[in-house]
Amino acid sequence: MTEVVQQDLASERQVQTIDSETPFKRFVSEFFDSKTASVALFILLSIIILAVIAPWITPQDPYDLAQVDVLDGRQPPGAEAFSGYTMWLGSDGAGRDLYSGILYGLRISLSVGVMSGFIALLIGMAVGLLAAYAGGRAENVIMRVVDLQLSFPAALVALMLIAILGKGVDKIILALVVAQWAYYARTVRASALVERNKEYVEAAACLGISHARIIFRHIMPNCLAPLIVVGTVQTAHAISLEATLSFLGVGMPQTSPSLGVLIANGFEYMLSGRYWISVFPGIALLVTVVSINLVGDHLRDVLNPRISTGGGKAK
């Protein structure tokens, strides 16, 4: 009995807090209701900060060939380098300190992932909104292109493009954008179709507001929730895709190693017992991708009212 009363009070209190809060505050408090997601977000933010401040906390700049000494090559974790510092995670075949290499690699992997994810999001969003709003033949053409694109594995599309375009950071970003924009377009179009038929859009049309303004001021903000979710998950996907390409030797060049390049470098030493060259960058990649995915997963739970139970404890 008391339990019921308490529950009632709790739900009443919740109604009150919801009433007095902005949607954003409610969203934040719901997000942090999940321990997993909070921890994942904490790890992700730590990784980003570490990557950003890498030049100030690493003993070696792995891009500066003057600082890389071949004599330090293939040292186990904890060995002392020729120039005096301790290589806590060992070194790879070229004498790069792995701790430094991983942080610098994270910089490249994260920035390539975020950049390509963001550009793909902008393109996909514009295309998806246009398709949903225009309807008719334009929508059909756009969505068939999207279907065609999605019927190829993203890695295959990226590989083909790299083969045509050649190596380089800009080309990898371009390849990832081309491989991924269709996911965004499809997501946005689905939610924009729902929004387009709501009465507030009719009201805006009735008020003589231009099409462009209706699309970007009215429909777009209402489609952002699923887009943010797809954005996080696809960014994680872009990071692992970049690592895949680099691992296959068509991604980042040897002189500016991303995580994928580091893993590939250590691959040949795996059977000779020098596990650390591949394993540590691999763990870094794994932790990054998993934490982004966990954050994205929980974002979806919070942002989707059909899954969210209100308290954010959906599972």
Partner 1 sequence: MSAPLLEIRNVSKRFVKKLDVAGKIAARLGANISEETVHAVDNVSMTINKGEVVGLVGESGCGKSTLGRVVAGIHNPTDGQVFFEGQDISALEGVRKREVTLAVQMIFQDPFASLNQRMRVEDIIGEAPVYHGLTTRSEKSDYVDEIMEKVGLDPSLKKRYPHQFSGGQRQRIGIARALAVKPRFLVCDEAIAALDVSIQAQVINLFMDLREEFDLTYLFISHDLSVVEHIADRVLIMYLGRVVESGITEEIFDRPVHPYTSALLAEAPRLDQRKREFAPIKGEIPSPLEPPSGCHFHPRCPHAIGDCSRQAPALEVVRRNHIAACHLRERFG
Q: How far apart are CA 127 and CA 121, in angstroms?
A: 10
> Which region among 36-44, 47-55, 115-123, 199-207 touches partner 1 (by CB under 8 A)?
199-207
Cβ atoms < 10 Å from Cβ of 157: 19
305 binds partner 1 (CB under 8 A): no
Q: Which residues have a Cβ under 8 Å from the Cβ of 202 and sit 6 or more positions away?
A: none
CA distances for 227 relative to 118, 189, 231, angstroms: 11, 10, 6
Smallest distance, partner 1 to C-beta of residue 234, A: 23
Closest CA to 299 of 15, 44, 55, 104: 44
User: Binding to partner 1 by residue 270, rule CB under 8 A?
Assistant: no
Based on CB atoms, which residue is closest to partner 1, 16 or 255? 16
Residues 214-243 that bind partner 1 (CB under 8 A): 217-218, 221-222
Q: Which is nearer to partner 1, 201 or 233 (CB)?
A: 201
- Report in angstroms how near the CB of residue 222 gets to partner 1 at its nearest: 6
Does 84 help bind partner 1 (rule: CB under 8 A)?
no
Binding of residue 3 to partner 1 (CB under 8 A): no
Q: Are 277 and 265 in contact (CB under 8 A)?
A: yes
- Cβ nearer to partner 1, comparing 2 with 22: 22
CA angle 219, 222, 225 (to 5 degrees): 140
Q: In a 3-state reduction of DSSP, which class is residue 152?
A: coil
Tell which one of 206, 271, 272, 273 touches partner 1 (CB under 8 A): 206
Taking CB atoms within 8 Å and a gap of at least 24, the contacts of 200-207 are none
Q: Which stretch binds partner 1 (CB under 8 A): 73-81, 182-190, 192-200, 266-274?
A: 192-200
Part in contact with partner 1 (CB under 8 A); list of ranges 35-43, 147-155, 196-204, 285-293: 196-204
Q: Could you give the CA distance from residue 270 to residue 150 in angstroms, rounded to a whole number?
A: 35
Pick from 2, 3, 4, 22: which binds partner 1 (CB under 8 A)? 22
